[in-house]
A and B are shown apart, each in its own frame.
Chain A
Amino acid sequence: MTPQVIEAHQLTGPEYDKIVSLLGREPTYTELGIFSVMWSEHCSYKSSRIHLKKLPTRSKLVLQGPGENAGIIDIGAGYAIAFKIESHNHPSFIEPFQGAATGVGGILRDIFTMGARPIAVLDAIRFGPLDIPRNRRILEGIVSGIAHYGNCFGVPTVGGECVFEECYNGNPLVNAFALGVFRKDQVFYGKAKGVGNPVIYVGAKTGRDGIHGASMASAEFTEESKQKRPNVQVGDPFLEKLLLEACLEAMQTGAIVGIQDMGAAGLTCSTCEMGSRAGTGVEIDLKLVPQRETGMTPYEIMLSESQERMLLVAEQGREDEVFAVFHKWGLDAVTIGHVTPDGILRVKDHGEIVAEIPNRALADEAPVYDRAHTNPARVAPLEAPEIPNSSTPAAIRADLIALLSSGDLCSKRWIWEQYDYLVRSSTLAGPTADAAIVRVKETGTSIAISLDGNGRYCVLDPREGAKLMVAECCRNVSTAGALPVAATNNLNFGNPERPEIMAQLVESIEGMAEACEFFETPITGGNVSLYNETLGEAIFPTPVMGIVGLMKTAQPTPIHFPKPGLAIILLGGFGEWDEEHLGGTQYAKVILQKLWGSPPRLDMPYEKRVHSAIREIVSARLADAAHDLSDGGLAIALCESSFGYAGIGACVEIPASPRPEFALFHEGPSRILVATSQPEKVMEIARKNSVEAPRIGVTMKERLRIDCDSQTLLDCDLTELRQPWETSLERLLHQQ
């Protein structure tokens, strides 16, 4: 092997030496390819692994933590849910439609490979500003890719988030979350158990697409990256739907011993991981692998990331039961090898051995790095700039409209209407809610799900930003009336070989660990996406969290005010702010076009008491509407709650303040708007939980009015506010 070949496989000299010592000889070309994908950052987590160990992963509800295809939580009545989030950032930049589509396809396979039927998908997506035409094309491509795959597959896309920031200009983020449900005694694992058992390949034929996708996802973007388009896989949601039904039906036969999807690193990853988990070996012959192209080399077959494929191990002698199911669904299913006792991945091509590697060397012996980390990269000053006074009614009105029209805060209807968020008739709360809610028809239980991330908070302080993200997710889920019980995380960062980037990763993980411990939401799995850089520019550190909560199935509480005359209570109170902690807000971004200081201050015990209070209020059906405050602060939350079909706004009063615009737009956490006909009872629950709950006003028809210190700051017809909010995204997308 020449140094050039080794370098082309993104392996370092010492890594290559380790391969030689593990094998006791030089690897073959095919073996080198196999090592390069299994030891890539994407598959091995070599830079993050030692830090991920800091995350809490257990609770009495966790049936399966990290390390399997997805985490599993007990939801009672004999049922469980499997869920995970995964990124497809790099492919989505190179080919937005297919990149995003196969991102959804990949996470769905992770769920049903365990035996769970997917019942919800959510997506967190991030783009560069829309005044650049390329970003508009990327957004349109990614959204239609997600829609194409999920809609055809038949899983509802029930929510997510969409954020714009300069730093995602050459590096959009696509993080797809999926959740499935199954009986808890019918869980399947990716283990190649039982020496002599047949190893069966099912699903799509193998082609040359996606070769080295995993290693591509572990490198920075350069000018040549666009030439990597053939590395992006092509998805077929129809085939995946057949694969889902066939797999779930085949699992019912009792003849399946273990099963794993072929995702990143395809046949390589599934064979060696299944063997490694079971402590067995796997021997396959590539001539038996269904192929859709001719003349493929062993290297290409092992590294292909063709979609919609599964590897399973069946009980010896019962292959025909498995084949019958797959043939019923019109799918390929062939035995390509068998389980061996020797712990070795042995790959033959027409009988001739082309690779022979101990499974553990690939799956468990990957290098682990404790990379140097200094202080997190600081891209913004700590000190606040001079903030011009914008307290006049005219200024407040103009700023509110500017915020409502901004990419981050405007209505995302144009996006989510393209997603089928209703299929399976289980969606109780969809894309407009704080947390999506899907019911499990079999148990009378519903699952509330929230995805959240905030790169601006995290770039100012990765540790505090991560905690705020966990708090926000738990607040969303609690506002739905659900108890947050578990989490999955997607860590999107730059190049970990740069100590100031590595520091962002470490601090975020530690902040997340502390918050997840505190809010009792163990992390059951997730994904790390590093090297999110283009031409040396890293993205903001962008951890994304998916948190699930459990609740009894019931009519959800809307975020919209349903009728006039209801008392409005600001559970949690007006919050605290000062100029330093305004630097990461939407007000700073959109109105002042600056970034500085620190993210909002979080008091975790107080936040948790707010969650308890709102769950009690919602469960007692005291809230006619409830909506948590987040980006854009109180003013934006009031607008969002006023933008329902009923056309009900609000008249509220805020306390006297030298800078009322800060009171309206600061993003202090731990706050929830509640509209109620029984304010005393709501305030009583707040008191019991030692949470502030000022009564700030009343709902009213068609207008939003905000008073402060006997002066009217805003008095506006709702349509004047709603119209820019509703039409902005389309205008931004179709600008010349």
Chain B
Amino acid sequence: MKFGVVVFPGSNRDHDAWYAVSQVLGQDTEIIWHDATSVGDVDALILPGGFSYGDYLRCGAIAKFSPVMQSIRKFAADGGLVLGICNGFQILVESGLLPGALVRNHGLKFVCKHVPLRVETTNSPFTSEARKGQRLLVPIAHGEGCYIADERTLDQLEAEERVTLRYLENPNGSLRDIAGILNEGRNVMGLMPHPEDAIEPLMGSSDGIVIFQSMISQTSISALAGGALAAKH
């Protein structure tokens, strides 16, 4: 399958995401520059971590006006897989592709550490290869990762099984310990932790690999289905 890693000025975990999917998982990977007008023929997009446009104004607030966001919206609307990690999550929330907001950590400081997460649902193309209730040790590295939304939205996310990951030891004050969520179509996920930095034993944990493996297996299933469909016509 083919991944696209979107690079905004100020993205800095683009290398990590590229390394994870292309070097560790051996997938085709394309770098997509922020002023691209098309995302090309990729099967899935990763919006990586970093400080897009310096995170001036508000994290992710300027990136949402990036030319590439037009085609990312269209890609998502057509059912393409979009994974937003950290700053990528902030951008997806700012763009309205995911509900809620990410605000300053309750401790008011940037926090970098490994945190335990729990997989809340496997009914998503990002967690299908995990076990429900599985514990994942994955690092966080952010200053503004406290997830907030109004009660109704939170209830709805839970009712629709759209909370994919929760913190077991909440590091930033996120409401209801939310670490990752899905959009309504279940093809867009945002999360604050960095699965791309927990992908080999040398990194201290390889628990994050399950996210990318899920995306890969989901894409090959739909490719098979699509192929079967095409064969019928």
Contact = CB atoms under 8 A, between A and B. Distances in A.
Interface of A: 144, 147, 151-154, 236-239, 241-242, 329-330, 416-425, 427-428, 439, 441, 553, 555
Interface in B86-121: 109-113
Q: Which of A151, A153, A416, A427 has the most CB of B within 10 A?
A: A151
Contacts of B16: 423-425
Nearest to A446: B202
Contacts of B199: 425
B20 to A, nearest CB: 7
A439 B19 CA distance: 13
Contacts of B50: 154
A419 B112 contact: yes
Contacts of B13: 154, 423
A151 B201 CA distance: 24
A289 B41 CA distance: 43
B185 interface: no
5 contacts: A151-B51, A237-B54, A239-B54, A422-B139, A425-B19
A330 B9 contact: yes
Interface in B176-233: 194, 196-197, 199, 201-203
B23 interface: yes
Which secondary structure dominates where chain B touches chain A? mixed
B15 interface: yes
A441 B12 CA distance: 17
Interface of B: 9-10, 12-13, 15-16, 19-20, 23, 49-51, 53-56, 109-113, 139, 141, 143, 194, 196-197, 199, 201-203
Cβ-closest 6 pairs across A and B: A154-B12, A238-B54, A425-B16, A420-B141, A152-B51, A425-B197
Nearest to B111: A417
A427 B19 CA distance: 14
A329 B9 contact: yes
Nearest to A154: B12
A723 B149 CA distance: 36
A424 B194 CA distance: 11
B56 to A, nearest CB: 8
B162 to A, nearest CB: 28
Contacts of B53: 238
A152 B54 contact: yes
Contact of B20 (A152, A425, A427, A555): A425
B194 A428 contact: no
Given A154-B50, A441-B19, 4 more contacts: A152-B54, A423-B197, A425-B203, A441-B23
A420 B16 CA distance: 13
Nearest to A431: B112
B111 A422 contact: no
Contacts of B196: 425
A154 B109 CA distance: 17
Contact of B10 (A144, A238, A417): A238
Contacts of A154: 12-13, 50-51
A142 to B, nearest CB: 14
B141 A423 contact: yes
Contacts of B56: 238
Contacts of A418: 109-112
Given A154-B50, A420-B112, A423-B16, A242 B9 contact: yes
Contacts of A236: 54
Nearest to B7: A245
B110 A439 contact: no
Given A418-B109, A419-B112, A422-B141, A153 B12 contact: yes
Contacts of B54: 152, 236-239
Contacts of A421: 112
A144 B107 CA distance: 14
Contact of A152 (B10, B19, B197): B10
Nearest to B15: A424
Contacts of A553: 202
A242 B9 CA distance: 7
B9 A151 contact: no
Nearest to B20: A425
Given A236-B54, A238-B51, A425-B199, A151 B110 contact: yes
A147 B13 CA distance: 16
Contacts of A416: 112
